[in-house]
Amino acid sequence: MKLLAGNSNPPLARAISDYLEMPLTEASVRRFADEEIFVEINENVRGEDVFVIQSTSYPANDNLMELLICIDALRRASAKRITAVVPYFGYARQDRKPGPRTPISAKLVANLITVAGASRVLSIDLHAGQIQGFFDIPTDNLFASPVIASDIQARFGSRELTVVSPDVGGVVRARSLAKRIGNVPLAIVDKRRERAGESEVMNVIGEVDGRTCILIDDIVDSAGTLCNAAAALKQQGAVEVFAYCTHGVLSGAAAARVAKSDLSELVVTDSIWSGEADEKGGKLRRLTVAPLLAEAIRRISDEASVSSLFD
């Protein structure tokens, strides 16, 4: 087995490497003057089981292209099996046609990864479960809920908790987390989205008065939905509101919006690397999914069960 890291998330790749006690494969991933990407593998990978670790986060197109070229380089170097480890799968929100003459970009990206030469895909909390069916190769969709649940139990063990879904579409995710941390009550924020990137909170369904609320979602991008939901929960009598999201996209003024919001803290995983250290003393905190990914990588290489990670 060999591990190859792209440039999208070096800290996570190093953490996975440390967990598996296996060095990252030496490779050169650089750009020409016109920004064309060039990849050169500096080790023999013939007949090897290779895992390429690369999130397709910002800059999404550059990181996606880098992933595709890494896969192609490995395929032409006669690697036995190539697994694309994509902690954050970009374009996942374009998983259906919301209107006429619009693309299903998640399917296009799945086709690109498959045609490039990937043998299988490993990701965390795909935005929509049906994306697994977009691939014509085996796809493992891991869940960050065990990592999140452990953190919640360690921090809020004796508090009166309510798990809150920020929209109707996230109820299954919220119910699963509520069951995992001890069958705590569930609430839903009913919102109406007028246009992409903006949301308006309409109503809170469930009992939150006097309770500590845990908002749960898979992606936080502009953070507008979470901040509006936190304000609505506080108006309904919530003592404190914490938010847990798997993928911290945090584009634009999201961090500033969170800092001014009614959220006590926003917790995300390290599936996405911003390229700089988080502000000390701020409301943002990160949990690592490196052990989860590393254990899944080990089991895939050993042809063992991955689903048993969540039993």
Query: For residues 60-87, b (16+ Cβ closer than 10 Å) or e, as one string?
Result: bebbbbbbbbbbbbbbebebebbbbbbb
36 is in an annotated binding site: yes
Locus of tokens 């309510």:
162
Does residue 136 have a known ligand-binding role? Answer: no
Which residues on adjacent β-strands are paired with residue 200?
192
Structure tokens at 132: 């697994």
Residue 149 is assigned to a ligand binding site: no
Catalytic positions are 191
224 assigned to a ligand binding site: yes
Beta carbons of 162 and 211 less than 8 angstroms apart: yes
93 is in an annotated binding site: yes
- Does 31 belong to an annotated binding site? no
Task: Establish whether 275 is an annotated binding residue.
Answer: no
> 264 vs 7, 28, 155, 282, CA distance in Å?
32, 42, 13, 10
Does 225 belong to an annotated binding site?
Answer: yes
Q: Is 167 annotated as a binding residue?
A: yes
Cis peptide before 166 (omega within 30 of 0): no
Q: Is 298 annotated as a binding residue?
A: no
CA proximity to 72, closest of 107, 24, 32, 37: 37
Binding residues for Mg(2+): 127, 167
Residues making up the annotated binding site for D-ribose 5-phosphate are 193, 217, 221-225
- What residues are designated binding site for ATP? 34-36, 93-94
Q: Summarize the annotated binding site as residue ranges.
A: 34-36, 93-94, 127, 167, 193, 217, 221-225
